[in-house]
Each structure stands twice: as C-alpha cells, then as structure tokens.
A and B are shown apart, each in its own frame.
Chain A
Amino acid sequence: MANALQHNEWSGKTDGQPWMQRSLIVMFRVLPLWLPYGVMALVVPFYMIFNRKGYKSMYQFFRKRFGYDPWKSFWKVYANHFRFGQVILDRFCVYAGKKYRFITEGQELMDELETHPEGFVNLSSHVGNYEIAGYSLKPKSKRFNALVYAGETATVMENRQRMLSQNNMSMIPVKEDMSHLFTLNTAIDNGEIVSMPADRIYGSQKAAECMFFGEKARFPLGAFALAAQKNVAMLAVFVMKESYKTYHAYVRVIQCDRDAKIREQMSQLAQNFASNLEEIVKRYPTQWFNYFDFWKQ
C-alpha cells in the first residue's frame, strides 16, 4: 500500500544519494555554472531514455496541451528535462553560495499584505524554481512558513533549513499524524505567511475540479480550504528561469467572492489559481515539472 503522504505518480524527491548531493555543493563553490550545465546537456538524453514514464507524460503534455507535432514535442521534452536539470543545479548552487538575479513582478502585493496584522497563504507549484526565491526574496517583517514534503533527502532538508533560517523562514514537514495542520493554523493565527503547494495531491484526496488547459483537472483542496476557512488573503508566486543567471518572479493575487459559502470560496480560489498557473505555463511551457498525467491525478 502506498504511503498516504506520497503522490500516487511522483515521489517529489530530489534524485541522487546524499553523498552525491553534498559533493555537488562542494564542487559548485569553485566550478563556473556553465560547466555543469554543459555536462547536463549530454546526460539529459540518457535520462529521457531511462525515465520513460516522465518522458511519456511530458511528450503527451506537449502533444495534447500545446498541439505540437511529434518532432517539436520531442525537442520540447528535451528542453524541459534540460530546464529541470538547470533549476535543480541552481538550487545546489545557491546552497554553495552563488547568487542569481531576480526580476520581480508584483512584489508590492506581498509588501502590502505584510503591512496587515493578518497572516496570508502563499501558493507554490511545480513550475520554474519556487524554492530559489525563498533564498533571495526575503519577507520584510512576517515569518514565512513553508509546508514541505517530508520525504526529501537529508542533504536537501539540511541545506533548505540552513538557507531559510537566515531569512526568518521555517519549514513545516507534512506528517502522518496531521501535526502540520496545527502548526499551519497557529502560524496564520499569529499573522505569519504560510506557503503551500497547490498542484499535487498528497495525503488528503479531497480536490477541486478546475478547468485547466481546456479540460478538468484536480487541484488539492488544502491551501484553498485554509484560506477560505480562516478568511485570509492568498497569493500565488511563480518563479521562472529567464536566462543563464536570471529568474523572473510573478506574484499574483488569488481571489474569490468572500460573501459566498465556504465551499464555493474554496472552488473559486482553486479555479483562479488554475487559471493563473495556465497563463504562466503557456508563457514558459518547458518549465512545467509535473512528470505524470496531471489530468488523471
């Protein structure tokens, strides 16, 4: 029987043994960025061959959702795998102390919410490189709590904690005993920011059905339930790789009719998020990193 905290189709865990990941961090202190990128360009075809499930789902994604022909879809899958490798390497580069340039669109929305005493919910998704923003775009006053998948490797978790604790941020691992719910609830009550993934269904199977790329897809209800129940604001942050050392962060307000019933508010928030996500994915098609049939999750 699958672990209830795991996604049915995707482990969500960074590949590689802890010693390999530690070695990467040490190497990146001295290596220029172009070198691992270059090596990765050669490795990606092998990854595509051996990771058949990921290859197939991404190929279908480009064929069905973008209508690309087979040849173009194949090259887009290559570009997607290469981009995915880049964002993972960039994360390790940040652990090693390297800096990236950030262009932020909508920072004022977050700044404005930070002036209010209430907490708010920040949505993340598996596009671009959300995690890297946490190491560079710091909240000005409020504490930032990120709900994270508990099954990551020790190396990744240790480095995340080290980087985040410098920026008044902390992690809340998803746990079987549901203790993370109390921590999230308390954080909101204390006027803090809570960051939650909003595109993969872990744990609870409750989901909102939203129109996404012209077809219904299920989005996990957790974050939307929290914002609706606690009557707090919601933002979505998409951090997309723009070029070699530049990321473009988009901050969007996720809204609903606050006079509607709680269930209706949850659905509206989910649909609003799905629409924003679709717009971003259309702009950056190769930075969609859900390697499974998203419409069947």
Chain B
Amino acid sequence: MDELIYTLKQQIIEALNLEDMKPEDIDENASLFGEGLGLDSIDALELIVMMEKNYGIKLQDPAKGKEIFKSVAVMADFIAKNRTK
C-alpha cells in the first residue's frame, strides 16, 4: 500500500502540474480539497481522468466520488480494491 500511495502522490503532482512539490510534501491523510492540498473542481476533473487512464477506474457515482477524493490514502485504498489495470 505504501508503494501505491507514493506512486499516487507522484501521479497527482504530474497530473496537476504541482511543480514545486515532492511526494514527501503531501500528507496522505490530509484533505485533498479545501484546507488540505487546496485542490478545486478542475483538479478533481483531472484526478477523475488520471484514475481512468492509469488504473482503468471509471467513476460515475457523484456521491462516491466525493468520498474517494477525501485524501490520498483513501484514494489509494479505493484504487487497490477497484483497479482493472
């Protein structure tokens, strides 16, 4: 799981173009939106596409989506359970 969390942090940095951040700078339990990493709706769109491309996960249920993007750790857990590639 630790490896997946680290990879996921790298992919988030790349997808969102967070150039001055390193994976170590992201707390996997911190909120992705609002006060945590401070992401917004356009970033969410990029995360949706990133999960499709890299893990073959199609997110269709809006209510579920909000829960999945709670933190990197929650995302990693969801990916581990649902990935198709």
Contacts and interface: CB of A to CB of B under 8 A. Distances in A.
Nearest to A261: B17
B45 A181 contact: yes
B48 A204 contact: no
A230 B45 CA distance: 10
B63 interface: yes
Interface string B53-69: 00000111111011000
A258 interface: no
Nearest to A179: B62
Contacts of A242: none
Interface secondary structure of A, over-half rule: helix
B60 A186 contact: yes
Contacts, number: 56
B42 A206 contact: yes
A203 B49 CA distance: 19
Contact of B61 (A181, A182, A229): A182
A23 B19 CA distance: 55
A205 interface: yes
B40 interface: yes
Given A185-B49, A229-B49, A230-B49, A177 B62 contact: yes
Given A225-B46, A229-B46, A182 B59 contact: yes
Among all A-B residue pairs, the 3 with the closest Cβ atoms: A179-B62, A204-B40, A229-B49
Given A186-B60, A189-B58, A263-B17, A181 B40 contact: no
A172 to B, nearest CB: 11
Contacts of A221: 42
A182 B48 contact: yes
Given A229-B49, A263-B17, A183 B62 contact: yes
B44 A178 contact: yes
